[in-house]
Amino acid sequence: MGIVNLTPDSFYDGGHYFSCAASLQRIAKIIEEGADIIDLGAFSSRPGAHDVSIKEEIGRLLPIIEKTKEKFPTLPISIDTFRAEVADKAIQAGADMINDISGGELDNRMYEVIAKHQVPYIMMHMRGTPKTMQNLTDYKDLIGEIALSFGKRIDKLRSMGIKDIILDPGFGFSKTLAQNYELLDRINEFQYFNLPILAGISRKSMIYKKIHVQPEDALTGTIALNTLLLYKGVQIIRVHDVKEAKQIINLLS
The edge-to-edge listing of strands for the beta sheet with 121-124 is 2-5, 38-41, 77-80, 97-100, 121-124, 165-168
Question: Does the annotation mark 238 as catalytic?
Answer: yes
204, 209, 232, 246: the catalytic one is 204
CB within 8 Å of 27: residues ≥ 6 apart: 2, 4, 38, 64, 68, 72, 75
Residue 78, classed as helix, strand or coil, is strand
Residue type at position 212: H
Question: Does the annotation mark 131 as catalytic?
Answer: no
CA dihedral sign of residues 174, 150, 145, 178 = negative
CB within 8 Å of 100: residues ≥ 6 apart: 81, 82, 87, 110, 121, 122, 123, 124
Residue 106, classed as helix, strand or coil, is coil
CA dihedral sign of residues 18, 64, 165, 37 = negative
Report CA-CA distances (Å) from 9 to 5, 22, 36.
9, 15, 25
Of 231, 236, 202, 234, whose CA–CA distance to 219 is shortest?
202
- Distance, CA of 125 to CA of 116 (rounded, Å): 23
158, 238, 243, 246: the catalytic one is 238
Helix (H) or strand (E) holding 47: none
Active-site residue set: 204, 238
